[in-house]
Amino acid sequence: MNGRALSWHRLVLFGALGLFALVFLTPLYVMVSTSLKSMDEIREGTLLALPASPSLAAWIKAWSEACTGTDCGGLRPFFLNSVMMVVPAVAVSTLLGSLNGYVLSKWKFRGSELMFAMILFGVFMPMQVVLLPMSQVLGWLGLASSVWGLVLVHVLAGIPSTTLFFRNYYVGLPDELLKAAMLDGAGFWQIFWRIVLPLSTPILVVTLIWQFTQIWNDFLYGVVFSGADSKPITVGLNNLANTSSTVKEYNVDMAAAMIAALPTLFVYIVAGKYFVRGLTAGAVKG
Amino acid sequence: MSTAAPALRTSWLPRLVVAPSFVLSFLFIYGLMAWNGYLSVSASRLLPNYEFAGLAQYQTLWDSERWWVALKNLGIFGGLFIGGAMALGLLMAILLDQKVRAEGLLRTIYLYPMALSFIVTGTAWKWILNPGLGLEHLVQSWGFKDFEFGWLVDPDMAIFCVVIAGVWQSAGFVMALFLAGLRGIDESIVKAAQVDGASLPRIYWRILVPSLRPVFFSTLMVVSHLAVKSFDLVMALTAGGPGYATDLPATFMYTMAFSRGQIGLGAASATMMLATVAAIVVPYLYSELRAKR
């Protein structure tokens, strides 16, 4: 490889990489710039034009005044529903996943491998299969159309992936560590709290981020199981963007989309490394 | 590697600890699955009705023109979405693998759509692709006065809008999986080939890409089950429209079960989706878990 050919190659390489970056960033740019424009400016200008006088009016409207269906209280109530749903659902599903993973890797019993395989199918199965029966179950439990019903569904739907994450991570912890602790008289819980959990920080972060992103971004359960007062942000955004009013306010739509996207985007930017690890772990390869 | 055979005196404890979540998971996954299966052979319409109706719902399903539209769309969408995301993702992974200085930044940029909800993606692309003020208007302002882009409202073309948005969202994910695979390959193989005078494209095509085969399969599996389950993106981008031109099995199921009062039919379509995903996933899980032993 001589220098000149190399630099020519590099130029094409960087050109292609830059072009891809542009393709991926443009929709985000369009969303942000549209959300800062007025409707007049949107009508006169083009998709890519910078906002002439950026204003947060569309953001304020999307947050507190925009109409979703017949309701005109903006996205705020939906956002709060999502927060109230995400916190307990992420915490419980992560905790259960961690316990399951601990048992499935370090305290195997007869049939535990088969059970793991059968639970693993829950990662992939099309959730359409559970929608109809689950709405009946939630009705029986008195949780229909409530945030707690959504929490329950998200916990149940999340257990397969959280179990997979922790199990694959704990398999890598050396057994000698546990054996030594056992010789010292430590039992099941002491080993978990004193040894395993302190070593779990990376996988804990991966799982928390994964579950947070999944549950925050979920639409299917949100649209099927929520009632008038418990709709999550994704449902709010969809209703807002599909409300047929006389004038389509694209700036408000884009501001609303950004509001719905910001929490997960923030987590991605702060802890992208862990997010990617969760994604690749989701492809079973542990 | 075998696991510790711990002291027997506490052997009931681990089982007790996992019992609640295992039992609930099994009920959730397999119990509800069976229940749904039963609904699909019942006479349920607006309300669940457990009168046995044989395969009548399946008969109705396969006679329904709308279901065939949904299947045809799944074929088009699935083929192009899987093919597009895999090809683009592999290309980006190979390009990024060239010891690029800003790799971390570029990776972050390629992958951020994966952090967004499909509803956000759909809403954004609906604005970009809308005929009138979106892309059409932009290209016209560049001087191409006759440029028209009405795919989003064209029953024959709208499904391709779903493909565009889907590939945009998922290509970075495929890139991440392939890049991890490429990084796992022993560098001495590449060095040896270079000594033999093989060119870089040749090294990739003949050595590196073939050795990605396992990653290729797991990626294909993940992306194709995403395609079968696709729901949110269609709902946000086209809501299945115009008419039901962009219906997919998942949106068909939702419409029948929750807005048309056809519970039995919805359950039957859900069972068909389950069968499709199981046909893809079960052999994969089986081989993955066997290989680990």
Cβ within 8 Å, pair A122-B29: yes
Partners of B221 on chain A (C-beta within 8 Å) are 283
Across the range A44-61, mean pLDDT stands at: 86
pLDDT digits (tens, 9 = 90+) for A183-230: 888 888 999 999 999 999 999 999 999 999 999 999 999 999 988 889
Cβ within 8 Å, pair B36-A132: yes
Whether the per-residue pLDDT at A109 is higher than 60: the answer is yes
Across the range B45-68, mean pLDDT stands at: 85
Task: Report the C-alpha gap between A192 and A103 in whole angstroms.
Answer: 10
Whether the per-residue pLDDT at A1 is higher than 50: the answer is no
Residue of chain A minimizing CA distance to B172: A24
Residue A91 exposed, middle or buried by CB count within 10 Å (0-12, 13-18, 19+): middle
User: Regarding the domain with residue range B64-292, which homologous superfamily does it belong to in the CATH classification?
Assistant: MetI-like (1.10.3720.10)
Partners of B17 on chain A (C-beta within 8 Å) are 99, 103, 188
Taking the CA of residue B251 as centre, how many other CA atoms within 13 Å lie in the half-sphere pointing to its CB?
26
Instruction: Determine if the peptide bond prior to B242 is cis (ω within 30°).
Output: yes
* Predicted local confidence at residue B171, as pLDDT: 93
Distance from CA of B8 to the nearest CA of A (A): 11
Task: Report the C-alpha gap between A131 and A134 in whole angstroms.
Answer: 5
State the DSSP string of A166-232.
HHHHHTTS-HHHHHHHHHTT--HHHIIIIIIGGG-HHHHHHHHHHHHHHHHH--HHHHHHB-TT---
Across the range B273-281, mean pLDDT stands at: 90
> Does residue B100 contact residue A264 with C-beta atoms inside 8 Å?
no
Lowest mean pLDDT, pick from A24-33, A104-113, B32-41, B45-54: B45-54
> Does residue B28 contact residue A160 with C-beta atoms inside 8 Å?
no
Task: Return the DSSP state at B206.
Answer: I
- Kindly indicate the confidence band of residue B291, based on its pLDDT and cuts at 50, 70 and 90: low
Task: Return the DSSP state at B151.
Answer: G
* Predicted local confidence at residue B229, as pLDDT: 83
* Predicted local confidence at residue A4, as pLDDT: 57
Across the range B123-150, mean pLDDT stands at: 84
Q: At what angle do helices B263-292 and B213-229 cross, to 10 degrees?
A: 170
User: In this complex, how many residue pairs, one in chain A and one in chain B, have their CB atoms less than 8 Å apart?
Assistant: 279
pLDDT digits (tens, 9 = 90+) for A266-286: 999 888 888 888 777 765 443
Q: Which residues of B151-183 are buried (b: 16+ CB within 10 A; e: fewer)?
A: bbbeeeebbbbbbbbbbbbbbbbbbbbbbbbbe
Distance from CA of B22 to the nearest CA of A (A): 8
Partners of B116 on chain A (C-beta within 8 Å) are 217, 261, 264-265
Whether the per-residue pLDDT at A3 is higher than 80: the answer is no
- Kindly indicate the confidence band of residue A46, based on its pLDDT and cuts at 50, 70 and 90: confident
> For chain B, first and last CA: distance in Å?
8
Cβ within 8 Å, pair A126-B270: yes
Q: How far is CA A265 from its chain centroid?
A: 10
Whether the per-residue pLDDT at A158 is higher than 50: the answer is yes
Residue of chain A minimizing CA distance to B37: A129
Cβ within 8 Å, pair A260-B120: yes
Task: Report the C-alpha gap between B75 and B86 in whole angstroms.
Answer: 16
Whether the per-residue pLDDT at A239 is higher than 70: the answer is yes
Whether the per-residue pLDDT at B4 is higher than 60: the answer is no
> For chain A, first and last CA: distance in Å?
38
What phi and psi, each to the nearest 5 degrees, are found at residue A146?
A: -120, 160
Mutate to test the interface with A, among B9, B127, B142 (most CBs of A within 10 A): B127
Sketch out chain A's domains with CATH numbers: 3-55 (no CATH), 76-281 (1.10.3720.10)
Across the range B36-42, mean pLDDT stands at: 90
Task: Return the DSSP state at A111.
Answer: T
* Predicted local confidence at residue B1, as pLDDT: 40
Residues sharing a CB contact under 8 Å with residue B248, sequence separation 6 or more, in sequence order: B70, B73, B74, B77, B230, B231, B234, B240
* Predicted local confidence at residue B3, as pLDDT: 47
Task: Report the C-alpha gap between A170 and A180 in whole angstroms.
Answer: 16
How many other C-beta atoms are found inside a 10 Å radius of the C-beta of residue A272?
17
Residue of chain A minimizing CA distance to B129: A47
- What six digits make up the tokens of A160? 């397969």
Mutate to test the interface with B, among A119, A124, A182 (most CBs of B within 10 A): A124
- What six digits make up the tokens of B199? 């060119």
> Does residue A223 contact residue A238 with C-beta atoms inside 8 Å?
yes
Q: Which residue has the tokens 């950026």?
A: A54
Distance from CA of A73 to the nearest CA of B (A): 20
Partners of B228 on chain A (C-beta within 8 Å) are 126
Whether the per-residue pLDDT at A181 is higher than 60: the answer is yes
* Predicted local confidence at residue B31, as pLDDT: 94
Whether the per-residue pLDDT at B165 is higher than 90: the answer is yes
% of chain B exceeding 90 in pLDDT: 38
Task: Report the C-alpha gap between A123 and A117 in whole angstroms.
Answer: 10
**Average pLDDT of chain B to the nearest whole number:** 86
Q: Is the ipTM of this complex over 0.85?
A: yes
- Kindly indicate the confidence band of residue A242, based on its pLDDT and cuts at 50, 70 and 90: confident
Distance from CA of B3 to the nearest CA of A (A): 6
Partners of A28 on chain B (C-beta within 8 Å) are 112
Task: Report the C-alpha gap between A221 and A81 in whole angstroms.
Answer: 13
Distance from CA of A283 to the nearest CA of B (A): 6
Task: Report the C-alpha gap between B137 and B168 in whole angstroms.
Answer: 21
> Does residue B178 contact residue B89 with C-beta atoms inside 8 Å?
yes
CA-based nearest residue to A209, from A59, A81, A90, A79? A90
* Predicted local confidence at residue A73, as pLDDT: 82
Residue A187 exposed, middle or buried by CB count within 10 Å (0-12, 13-18, 19+): middle
Whether the per-residue pLDDT at B25 is higher than 90: the answer is yes
Look at residue A241 and give its three-state secondary structure.
helix
HEC per residue, B211-225: HCHHHHHHHHHHHHH
> Does residue A85 contact residue A151 with C-beta atoms inside 8 Å?
yes
Cβ within 8 Å, pair A43-B172: no
Across the range B44-51, mean pLDDT stands at: 79
* Predicted local confidence at residue A283, as pLDDT: 57
* Predicted local confidence at residue A6, as pLDDT: 66
Across the range B95-108, mean pLDDT stands at: 88
The more confidently predicted of residues A9 and B63 is: B63
Across the range B12-22, mean pLDDT stands at: 90
Cβ within 8 Å, pair A21-B281: no
Provide the β-strand partners of residue A68.
A71
- Kindly indicate the confidence band of residue B10, based on its pLDDT and cuts at 50, 70 and 90: low
Q: Which residue has the tokens 């959280």?
A: A162
Mutate to test the interface with B, among A9, A132, A274 (most CBs of B within 10 A): A132
**B13 closest CB neighbour out of A188, A237, A264:** A188
Where are chain B's structural domains? 64-292
Provide the β-strand partners of residue A226.
A145
**Average pLDDT of chain A to the nearest whole number:** 88
> Does residue B272 contact residue B36 with C-beta atoms inside 8 Å?
no
Across the range A239-259, mean pLDDT stands at: 84
How many other C-beta atoms are found inside a 10 Å radius of the C-beta of residue A109?
14
State the DSSP string of A26-75.
HHHHHHHHHHTS-HHHHHHS-TTPPPSS--SHHHHHHHHT--BTTB-S-S
% of chain B exceeding 70 in pLDDT: 96
Across the range B94-117, mean pLDDT stands at: 89
Mutate to test the interface with A, among B27, B29, B98, B108 (most CBs of A within 10 A): B29
- Kindly indicate the confidence band of residue B103, based on its pLDDT and cuts at 50, 70 and 90: confident
CA-based nearest residue to B121, from A153, A265, A89? A265
Task: Report the C-alpha gap between A98 and A262 in whole angstroms.
Answer: 28
Residue of chain A minimizing CA distance to B286: A117
